[in-house]
Structure 1
């Protein structure tokens, strides 16, 4: 239920408050909103009278938000952001169905997106909106219909559709070593790059080569995209998923450092909440991925 209209200020008043808080003065807010200084002051005064709480004080010739005003402005900023996103979604989607999907950056870019062309051809009336998420979240709190997930089935309260297993390649820059590819023993002595979400990846890879690797050190990254840039720049060797490694090799940015493609622990899944109604758009995506 929406609150009484007397608690719903105008958009003009709210944007004035947000701009003053963000920019630090009514003068700067007026320039940002293409208004006069007096117009901004008037909007804040109207808002203050409607809320019944002091939101600003005079500071010389300017205005300064009170603690209550700053706190309220932070909430207003979230409301305005959500409203803008909702408006953009409606404008972009039009009369078509839409699906909000949380994606893993590299897997979404190199594995899912190329496959979606076939889905769009089969279902031209459905749009899939994508936003990046690298960790599990609460579907009740975040506005997503489904998500891409890597690892094991450790995300509570969701259904799982396996998409692909993890296959990796050890890669490095073309000039990383005088002679390439390296032996596993030689690679063990080289700088190695690590991904936060893949702890123990190198240890597992070396174990497959019959070597024990412990106390490995090296640069740490939170996403494959950043790590692949560091590999191409020559900072070290890295284990990249096959789909990303092959794309980088084809561009000439990296080369195999040692060995071939190997299996790694973990599976890529499409997950969606067990509770709530499942949209027609999500049902069609699930069915299409099952066939693919």
Structure 2
């Protein structure tokens, strides 16, 4: 289709509304513009088509024969557009909301809370895809991702979800009654580190603690790190949001904190993609993130 040969869509909409209502004023109210704007659009359209489309009739307007034919076709066309848009909106409202997130965040933060969302929003299906891989929201077809970092991802919109505070933790049976409160007190202990959390290594080493001087076991995922820590195999460091529930339950002990306000989990979406279901899930996530743990 050669769009350059068509008149302005605004002018076509204005004319169709004026012809249907037989009134410039009612057309202006429907389109939320001024009476003068409708009149100007109609004049421009008549000039573009070299054809009179409307004439004064009493206190309103009426369409000429040419105007009637055009108004009928425009009405049919706009109705088809509305039908297509409504069908797509209905499809969007019923299809699952797809969310990419890391396995550790899914297991330790989101899933213990998801029951609340299912209870209050049984009409919204959320499809969770836990993966350590960095997905492309646009090409991989995800509505949302929950990512850890500083929130700066080019071409994406991000909303902070959790703080960037890190907690150094260990199991009670590992500490055996000891009560360390700082990293230097853990120099002789075995450590557990996630190979994929490069930010975590930097956060630890920026405190002056030398990881190369400790007995360090590097595992391939944070899920393995948490499991090994719970089993009493060493000391580990995690975003507070990942281990806070275990600390509250007493299965892990919080030794000390490593604050990093620039890091945290973020809700990440594509610009302009903001369906009703997405807004509802985002709002719920932010609400539960602000609630105290326990």
**Could you tell which deviates more after superposition, 101-110 or 111-120?**
111-120
Matched, 1:139 2:137: yes
Shift in Å, 1:207: 4.9
Q: Deviations over 1:211-253 (max 9, x none)?
A: 4425355112233221011112332210133344333345554
Aligned length: 194
Q: Which runs of 5+ in 1 are unaligned?
A: 1-92
Q: Deviations over 1:77-117 (max 9, x none)?
A: xxxxxxxxxxxxxxxx9x94420111222222333334444
Instruction: Give the match for residue 267 of structure 2.
Output: 270
Counterpart CA distance in 1 for 2:112 and 2:175 is: 34
Counterpart CA distance in 2 for 1:148 and 1:161 is: 10
Instruction: Give the match for residue 199 of structure 1.
Output: 198
Shift in Å, 1:263: 1.8
TM-score normalised per structure 2: 0.55
Shift in Å, 1:199: 2.4
Q: Deviations over 1:35-75 (max 9, x none)?
A: xxxxxxxxxxxxxxxxxxxxxxxxxxxxxxxxxxxxxxxxx
Counterpart CA distance in 1 for 2:159 and 2:199 is: 25
Matched, 1:286 2:286: no
- 1:46-195 correspondence runs (5 A): 96-182=94-180, 183-195=182-194
Q: Is the CA contact (8 Å cut-off) linking 2:97 and 2:125 kept in structure 1? A: yes
TM-score normalised per structure 1: 0.56
Instruction: Give the match for residue 210 of structure 2.
Output: 213
User: Which of 244, 247, 251 lines up with 1:246 in the alignment?
Assistant: 244
Counterpart CA distance in 2 for 1:291 and 1:245 is: 19
Helix, strand or coil: the match of 1:215? helix
Q: Is the CA contact (8 Å cut-off) linking 1:202 and 1:239 kept in structure 2? A: no
Counterpart CA distance in 2 for 1:112 and 1:280 is: 20
Instruction: Give the match for residue 6 of structure 1.
Output: none
Shift in Å, 1:125: 1.3
Alpha-carbon RMSD across the aligned residues, in angstroms, is: 3.1
Q: Is the CA contact (8 Å cut-off) linking 1:160 and 1:272 kept in structure 2? A: yes
Q: As a proportion of its length, which structure holds more strand?
A: 1
Greater Rg, structure 1 or structure 2? 2
